[in-house]
């Protein structure tokens, strides 16, 4: 099994029928892994801890029905030893406490991951009102955006494998 | 202040950020490096300056973007742009759609494909190969993804090989990413003419 996350979770074997196509894009696969690390485990996490990032990622994976990917992020979350409040985030049914910072982060994450077209300026203002700095808003958007990419690469590869 | 553009267009708008772009005068060495700012190149768009707020991601995303859209072999450049437009239509990223529809038009010298897509959206009627590509990109871009075995078979029936299909997956998925930055962190606004 491949060492990179998307190929592993799509069930692609390096020696299988899709191995050659993926070998031709080995640079892209390596860069994809690097973006995962930058979005989930940055050296400077700003106001979004590694545990919170992993918990949000598990939440978004679950919202997309990607249970194996959610398990990957739950493992990262456990590694990062998040607080109880951070761990709660991984459950899509949890919406946060009234009008707090986490509630704002969750509302934004659920919107951007599942209905990005409906995002408006007021959604950014809500994060600012909840106390997020502009750099943290960009970090949160990047995390969501990266996950949308990763989830679709896995979904696409899985379909390719099934029809190879 | 210019008005926000809501309709798809091939006229590339300006982009007005909803959060504060990094001020070049205050940028860290790491940010300057990721922005590729040199004494002879100090022009950086507001969009990239906004992304510089998360410099670690920006630094690795830029080469990934370039590799997926421009590397050699595999799916044609125009068809990668079609994948990008499919995602941008689903996610209603007017700015992304404008940029990548324009590139498609430049590459193909045929404006009818994008006219149909902008007029009819996901229901646009295209030739068999373009239709298979566009439909796959659209369905992969839904959340959760709605692409299925029949969509994959349609790509194979239209003559796409494994390398081409992989490039399509990557370009459509990449715009799931780009749309969630461009459409979320700012607004497309009418370009103010310098004249």
Rounded Cα gap, residues A144 and A109, in angstroms: 7
Contact A4, A149 (CB under 8 A): no
Give the tokens for residue A104. Answer: 């704002």
Among B116, B122, B93, residue whose Cα is nearest residue B13: B93
Domain locations along chain B: 1-195
Question: The domain containing residue A157 runs over which residues?
Answer: 5-163
Give tens-digit pLDDT for A25-45. 999 999 999 999 999 999 999
Q: Report the complex ipTM.
A: 0.96
Rounded Cα gap, residues B185 and B108, in angstroms: 31
- Helix A121-129 to helix B162-185 angle, to the nearest 10 degrees? 60
Q: Which residues of B touch A141 (CB under 8 A)?
A: 180-181, 184-185
Rounded Cα gap, residues A96 and B119, in angstroms: 41
The average pLDDT across A105-129 equals 98
Q: Which of B173, B178, B181 has the most A C-beta neighbours within 10 Å, making it the best mutation to test the interface with A?
A: B173
Total domains present in chain A = 1
The average pLDDT across A61-80 equals 97
Rounded Cα gap, residues A51 and A74, in angstroms: 9
pLDDT beneath 50, residues of chain B: 195
Query: What is the pLDDT at residue A17?
Result: 84
The average pLDDT across A104-120 equals 98
Q: What CATH number does residue A150 fall under?
A: 1.20.1290.10
The average pLDDT across A135-155 equals 98
Rounded Cα gap, residues A55 and B14, in angstroms: 35
SS3 of residue A55 by DSSP: helix
Query: What is the pLDDT at residue B195?
Result: 47
**Statement: residue A95 has pLDDT above 60:** yes
Taking the CA atoms of B172, A55, A143 and A133 in sequence, report the sign of the dihedral they define: positive
Query: What is the pLDDT at residue B133?
Result: 98
**Statement: residue A19 has pLDDT above 80:** yes
Average pLDDT, chain B: 94
Nearest CA in chain B to A125: B18
Query: Cβ contact (<8 Å) for A117 and B90?
Result: yes
Reported as type and span, the H/E element at residue B101 is helix B94-108
Query: Cβ contact (<8 Å) for B73 and A24?
Result: yes
The average pLDDT across A59-67 equals 98
CATH topology of domain B1-195: AhpD-like (1.20.1290)
Contact B3, B190 (CB under 8 A): yes
Rounded Cα gap, residues A38 and A42, in angstroms: 5
Query: What is the pLDDT at residue A1?
Result: 46
The average pLDDT across A38-63 equals 98
Identify how many contiguous H helices and E strands chain B contains and give both numbers: 9, 2
Average pLDDT, chain A: 94
Q: Which residues of A touch B185 (CB under 8 A)?
A: 124, 137-138, 141
Closest Cβ opposite residue A112 in set B50, B63, B184: B184
Enumerate residues 57 to 116 of chain A having a beta carbon within 8 A of any beta carbon in chain B.
Answer: 63-66, 112-116
Give tens-digit pLDDT for B57-113. 999 999 999 999 999 999 999 999 999 999 999 999 999 999 999 999 999 999 999
């Amino acid at each position: 099994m491949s060492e990179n996350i998307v190929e592993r979770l799509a069930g692609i074997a390096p020696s299988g029928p899709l191995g050659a196509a993926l070998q031709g894009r080995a640079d892209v696969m390596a860069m994809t892994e690097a973006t995962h690390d930058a979005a989930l485990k940055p050296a400077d996490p700003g106001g979004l801890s590694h545990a919170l990032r992993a918990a949000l990622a598990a939440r978004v994976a679950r919202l997309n029905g990607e249970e194996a990917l959610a398990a990957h992020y739950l493992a990262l979350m456990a590694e990062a030893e998040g607080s109880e409040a951070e761990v709660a985030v991984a459950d899509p049914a949890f919406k946060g406490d009234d009008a707090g910072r986490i509630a704002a982060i969750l509302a934004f994450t659920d919107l951007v991951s599942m209905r990005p077209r409906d995002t408006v300026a007021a959604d950014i203002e809500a994060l600012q009102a909840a106390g997020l700095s502009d750099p943290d808003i960009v970090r949160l958007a990047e995390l969501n955006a990266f996950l949308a990419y990763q989830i679709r690469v896995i979904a696409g590869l899985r379909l390719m494998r099934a029809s190879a | 202040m210019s008005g926000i553009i809501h309709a798809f267009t091939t006229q590339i708008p300006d982009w007005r950020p909803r959060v504060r772009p990094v001020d070049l005068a205050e940028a860290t060495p790491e940010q300057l490096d990721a922005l590729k700012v040199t004494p002879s190149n100090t022009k950086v768009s507001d969009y990239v300056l906004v992304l510089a707020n998360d410099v670690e991601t920006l630094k690795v995303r830029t080469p990934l973007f370039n590799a997926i859209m421009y590397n050699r072999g595999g799916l044609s450049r125009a068809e990668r742009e079609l994948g990008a437009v499919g995602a941008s239509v689903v996610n209603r990223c007017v700015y992304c759609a404008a940029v990548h529809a324009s590139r498609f038009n430049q590459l193909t010298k045929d404006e009818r494909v994008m006219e149909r897509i902008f007029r009819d959206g996901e229901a646009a009627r295209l030739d068999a190969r373009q239709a298979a590509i566009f439909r796959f990109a659209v369905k992969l871009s839904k959340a959760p993804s709605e692409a299925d075995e029949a969509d994959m078979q349609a790509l194979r029936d239209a003559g796409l090989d494994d390398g081409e299909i992989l490039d399509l997956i990557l370009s459509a998925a990449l715009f799931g990413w780009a749309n969630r930055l461009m459409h979320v962190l700012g607004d497309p606004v009418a370009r103010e003419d310098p004249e």
